């Protein structure tokens, strides 16, 4: 009996001493691979995906852990490319966009079915998309569909205004900036002429709040509008008004509010996946239980033990089942980094999600080159500055704090980060970065900034101290250290939500500021639910740690953070010129020109230094060498049908420098085959345009 207590003691003692003397617990076996490495006999992947999914209903949850599960269970019109995350054909074999970029026609494949064998048609997409917008569902992701015509008014419960003659009042009639659109004589025939199409092509109708009180308040403020709508009928915006149209069983039309070049990429999001109407309506909120669920993806849900595991098995009725390699996919909802690393080492899991290797372990694990995956993500870290409070209302002070941070040292210290001095992530949008370099060089000339000075924006303590002095807070050297006695440090704080990495970054920055400016900024960590309202309500002073993850692969997803007066940036900054630049950019059809305009906006915002960009995140996760077709893409969302288990050790990756540039015949062929239908469509339309030109 007492030996158990002694055993406990002994074990602890044993480990402690062993650790001290050998100084390395982690290399075992041959040392070639990390921990136990034996490929499973079956095509079976065990994956750690973060927290327990909030829901398996594609329309409901917002997080990445859910996205990864839903991507296995449900298919959409398009799917993420496993490497680049661009949209590639899924249930939509191909698609085409109208000339003005506001309309898309999707051609659906005919052999897609739900897991119960029922064919998937355009009607199912129509239902799924409209359901996801329904106010009764109260989906947090609904805003993702707001680019679609009348989606926002429907989701918000707004009303149209109808004249007695049956026509509607249009937006251009009340908006002084908008001109009446030219009425073309011939109706737009793109995708066929239908009554619904005509309704969608009609100029944008005016929408007003559905709630009487809210509406009355709005009209009270705007007498002109009030006069215009007085005595008119208010008609509720319904699901039928939204810009979705079923042209036939296999043709689906989407009408956008304005051109959105990133729209196709956005459609791969889990929010736009197709669900089975009868099942959803029959079981209500319980429809995602394993016994009720009907899925549309490559896998079906065999069992779900919350907080323990989800068992997914290949769906033989899936339209592309012949090319789904895994027979079984087990997803473990785990969040503790040490625990999942232990499971990985013991050979109990095959891969983990992003940011899962603890900072202290990285030096040790990164030697297993083919297992450790660390590439830039479409996600950034930055400190927002509350620019309305003293002393941070002074741009010189803001710049001083930004320049006093050695981002290279920060990146070296955290080991996984890429230093960042702009707001859009480094190395994610190469074409945008090209356009930006061009735009910036013009602006720098205009503003009289030398390229050297611009280069040094990543770290320039000299200039930082000079700026502080200009702002009235001289920094002096006393006894070998910098001090800034006049700086009102009580009005400045760093708030961040609790996490190991946020803490050590905050401590690092605190030390940098102390060293380079002589200012010790107090740190204040909070649990997430306290932190969010504090930063949102601008209830902090100084700096707030923020991060942002792309919704889709376009820089706009980052720049939109500062769009409009009530923006998400938590800085209190807003500029009409910025909004206009973004609007104009999105109306621009030429991709390069559009990027240039976005870059102009980014320059405008960054010159104000309303944020201190710190770093582009990196993926930082591990997979066993026998897991193939699983790539460290910028969003850590995986199209599971490309993943396979390679049992032949000879074919495992060996000393791969960059896995993204590595060819894998099996995966590459699979991708090419899927892309073919869309490539054909594009070639055909190009040929048609050429023929027409002739």
Partner 1 sequence: MSNNETLKGTSLWKDAWKRLLKNKLAVFGLVVIVLMVIAVTIGPAIIRMTTGYTADYVPTDIGEGELVASFPPSMAHPMGTDELGRDMLARVLQGGRISLMVGIISTLVSLIVGVSWGAIAGYMGGRVDNIMMRIVDIIYAIPYILVVIVLLSVFGGPNTPEWIQWLSSKFGGAGNQGLNQIFLLFFALGLVSWLTMARVVRGQILSLKNQEFVLAAKATGVSTPAIIFRHLVPNALGPVIVYATLTVPSVMLTEAFLSFLGIGVQAPYASWGSLASDGIQNIAVFPWQLIFPGVTMALTLFSLNFLGDGLRDALDPQTRKF
Partner 2 sequence: MLSFILRRLLLIIPMALLVVTVTWGLIRIAPGNFYISERALPEAVERNIREKYGLDRPWYVQYGKMMWNIVRGDFGNSLKYRGQPVNEIIRRHFPYSATIGILAYLLALLVGLTTGIIAALKQNSPFDYGSMAVSMLGLSVPNFVLGPLLVLVFALWLFWLPPARWGGISSLILPVITLSAIYIAYLARLTRAGMLEVMRSDYIRTARAKGLDEKTVLLKHGLRGGIIPVVSFTGPALASLLAGTVVVEKVFAIPGLGNIFIQSVLNRDEPLILGIVAFLSILVMVFNLLVDISYGFLDPRIRYD
Residue closer to partner 1 by CB (options 181, 522) is: 522
Q: Give the nearest distance from C-beta 5 to partner 2 in angstroms.
A: 5
Q: Please identify which residue in 143, 163, 413, 679 interacts with partner 1, judged by CB under 8 A.
A: 413
Q: Please identify which residue in 24, 338, 658, 665 interacts with partner 2, judged by CB under 8 A.
A: 338
Single out the residue of 175, 181, 168, 180 nearest to residue 222, CA to CA: 175
Q: Please identify which residue in 33, 263, 332, 552 interacts with partner 2, judged by CB under 8 A.
A: 332
346 binds partner 2 (CB under 8 A): yes
Residue 569 CA to residue 554 CA, distance in Å, equals 18
Tell me which of partner 1, partner 2, none is bound by residue 546, counting a contact when its beta carbon lies within the kind-specific cut-off of 5 to 8 angstroms.
partner 2
31 binds partner 2 (CB under 8 A): no
Residue 315 CA to residue 292 CA, distance in Å, equals 16
409 binds partner 1 (CB under 8 A): yes
Residue closer to partner 1 by CB (options 236, 367) is: 367
DSSP 251-320: EEEEEBSS--TTHHHHTTSGGGB---HHHHHHHGGGGGSTTT----SSEEEEEEETTTEEEEEE-TTSTT
Pairing mode of beta strands 251-255, 299-305: unpaired
14 binds partner 1 (CB under 8 A): no
Residue 75 CA to residue 317 CA, distance in Å, equals 13
16 binds partner 1 (CB under 8 A): yes
Q: Please identify which residue in 42, 111, 116, 140 interacts with partner 2, judged by CB under 8 A.
A: 140
8 binds partner 2 (CB under 8 A): yes
CA gyration radius for the chain?
28
483 binds partner 1 (CB under 8 A): no
364 binds partner 1 (CB under 8 A): yes
20 binds partner 2 (CB under 8 A): no
Single out the residue of 49, 81, 62, 126 nearest to residue 268, CA to CA: 81
Residue 521 CA to residue 519 CA, distance in Å, equals 6
- Angle at CA 378, nearest 5°, toward 306 and 403? 125
DSSP 6-43: HHHHHHHHHHHHHHHHH---S--TTSSSSS-----SSS
- Angle at CA 477, nearest 5°, toward 471 and 478? 130
Interface characters, 260-299, with partner 2 (x: CB under 8 A): ------------------------xxxxx-----------
Q: Phi-psi bin for 564: left (phi > 0), alpha (psi -120 to 50), beta? A: left
Single out the residue of 386, 216, 351 nearest to residue 628, CA to CA: 351
Residue closer to partner 1 by CB (options 285, 336) is: 336
- The region of 84-92, 420-428, 442-450, 496-504 touching partner 1 under the rule CB under 8 A is 496-504
Pairing mode of beta strands 627-628, 644-645: antiparallel
Number of residues that this document lists for the chain? 694
Q: Please identify which residue in 234, 283, 443, 508 interacts with partner 1, judged by CB under 8 A.
A: 508
Q: Please identify which residue in 44, 196, 389, 503 interacts with partner 1, judged by CB under 8 A.
A: 503
Interface characters, 515-554, with partner 1 (x: CB under 8 A): x----x-xxxxxxxxx---x--------------------
**How far does Cα 260 stand from its chain's mean position?**
16
Interface characters, 506-535, with partner 2 (x: CB under 8 A): ---------------------xxxx-xxx-
Where are the strands (E) in 116-179, listed by range? Answer: 159-162
Sheet holding 542-549, edge to edge: 418-419, 611-618, 376-385, 542-549, 493-497, 523-526
Q: Give the nearest distance from C-beta 240 to partner 2 in angstroms.
A: 18
Single out the residue of 422, 409, 364 nearest to residue 512, CA to CA: 409
Q: Please identify which residue in 220, 278, 455, 500 interacts with partner 1, judged by CB under 8 A.
A: 500
Tell me which of partner 2, partner 1, none is bound by residue 506, counting a contact when its beta carbon lies within the kind-specific cut-off of 5 to 8 angstroms.
partner 1
Which residues here bind partner 2, judged by CB under 8 A? 1-2, 4-6, 8-9, 11-12, 14-16, 18, 25, 28, 35-36, 52, 54-55, 57, 60, 62, 135-140, 142-143, 146, 152, 155-157, 284-288, 305-308, 332, 334-336, 338-339, 342-343, 345-346, 348, 527-530, 532-534, 536, 546-548, 566-568
Residues that bind partner 1 (CB under 8 A): 16, 19-20, 23-26, 337-338, 358-361, 363-364, 406, 408-409, 412-413, 459, 481, 489-490, 493, 497-498, 500, 503-504, 506-508, 510-512, 514-515, 520, 522-530, 534
């Amino acid at each position: 009996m007492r030996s158990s207590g002694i055993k406990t003691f002994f074990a602890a003692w044993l480990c402690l001493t062993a650790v001290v003397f050998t100084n390395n617990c982690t290399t075992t076996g041959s040392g070639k691979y990390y921990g136990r490495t034996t490929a499973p006999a079956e095509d079976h992947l065990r994956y750690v995906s973060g927290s327990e999914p909030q829901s398996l209903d594609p329309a409901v949850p917002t997080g990445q852990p859910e996205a990864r599960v839903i991507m296995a269970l449900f298919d959409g019109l398009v799917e993420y490319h496993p490497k680049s995350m661009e949209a590639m054909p899924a249930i939509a074999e191909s698609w085409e966009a109208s000339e003005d970029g506001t309309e898309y026609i999707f051609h659906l494949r005919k052999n897609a079915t739900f897991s119960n064998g029922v064919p998937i048609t355009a009607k199912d997409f129509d239902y799924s998309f409209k359901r996801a917008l329904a106010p009764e569902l109260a989906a947090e992701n609904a805003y993702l569909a707001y680019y679609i015509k009348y989606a926002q008014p429907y989701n918000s419960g707004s009303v149209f205004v109808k004249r007695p003659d049956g026509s509607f009042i249009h937006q251009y009639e009340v908006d002084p900036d908008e001109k009446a659109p030219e009425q073309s004589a011939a109706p737009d025939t793109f995708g066929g002429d239908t009554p619904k199409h005509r309704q969608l092509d009609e100029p944008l109708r005016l929408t007003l709040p559905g709630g009487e009180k809210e509406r009355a308040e709005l009209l009270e403020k705007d007498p002109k509008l009030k006069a215009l709508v007085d005595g008119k009928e208010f008609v509720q915006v319904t699901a039928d008004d939204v810009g979705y149209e079923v042209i036939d069983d296999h043709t689906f039309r989407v009408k956008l509010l304005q051109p959105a070049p990133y729209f196709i990429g956005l459609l791969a999001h889990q929010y736009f996946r197709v669900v089975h109407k009868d099942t959803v309506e029959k079981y209500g909120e319980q429809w995602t239980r394993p016994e009720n669920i009907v899925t549309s993806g490559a896998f079906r849900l065999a069992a779900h033990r919350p907080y323990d595991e989800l068992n997914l098995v290949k769906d033989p009725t899936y339209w592309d089942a012949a090319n789904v390699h895994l027979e079984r996919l087990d997803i473990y909802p785990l969040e503790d980094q040490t625990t999942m690393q232990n499971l990985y080492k013991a050979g109990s899991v095959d891969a983990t999600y992003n940011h899962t290797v603890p900072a202290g372990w990285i030096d040790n694990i990164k030697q297993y080159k083919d297992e450790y995956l660390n590439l830039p993500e479409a996600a950034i870290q930055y400190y927002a500055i509350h620019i309305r409070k003293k002393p941070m209302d002074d741009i010189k002070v803001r710049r001083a704090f930004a320049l006093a941070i050695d981002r290279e040292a920060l990146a070296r210290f955290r080991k996984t980060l890429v230093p960042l001095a702009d707001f859009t992530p480094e190395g994610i949008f190469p074409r945008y970065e090209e356009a930006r370099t061009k735009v910036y060089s013009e602006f720098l000339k205009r503003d009289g900034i030398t390229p050297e000075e611009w280069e040094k924006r990543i770290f320039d303590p000299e200039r930082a101290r000079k700026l502080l002095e200009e702002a009235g807070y001289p920094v002096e050297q006393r006894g070998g250290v910098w001090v800034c006695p006049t700086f009102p440090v009580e009005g400045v704080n760093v708030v961040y939500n609790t996490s190991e990495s946020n803490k050590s970054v905050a401590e690092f920055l605190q030390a940098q500021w102390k060293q380079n400016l002589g200012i010790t900024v107090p740190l204040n960590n909070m649990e997430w639910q306290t932190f969010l309202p504090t930063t949102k309500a601008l209830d902090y002073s100084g700096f707030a740690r923020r991060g942002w993850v792309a919704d889709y692969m376009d820089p706009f997803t980052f720049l939109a953070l500062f769009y409009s007066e009530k923006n998400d940036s938590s800085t209190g900054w807003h500029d009409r010129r910025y909004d206009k630049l973004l609007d104009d950019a999105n109306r621009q059809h030429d991709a390069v020109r559009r990027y240039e305009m976005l870059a102009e906006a980014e320059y405008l915002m960054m010159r104000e230094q309303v944020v201190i960009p710190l770093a582009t995140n990196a993926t930082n996760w591990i997979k066993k060498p026998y897991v193939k077709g699983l790539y460290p893409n910028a969003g850590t969302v995986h199209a599971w049908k490309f993943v396979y288990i390679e049992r032949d050790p000879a074919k495992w990756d060996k000393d791969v420098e960059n896995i993204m540039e590595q060819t894998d015949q099996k995966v590459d062929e699979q991708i090419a085959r899927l892309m073919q239908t869309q490539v054909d469509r594009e070639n055909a339309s190009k040929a048609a345009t050429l023929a027409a030109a002739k």
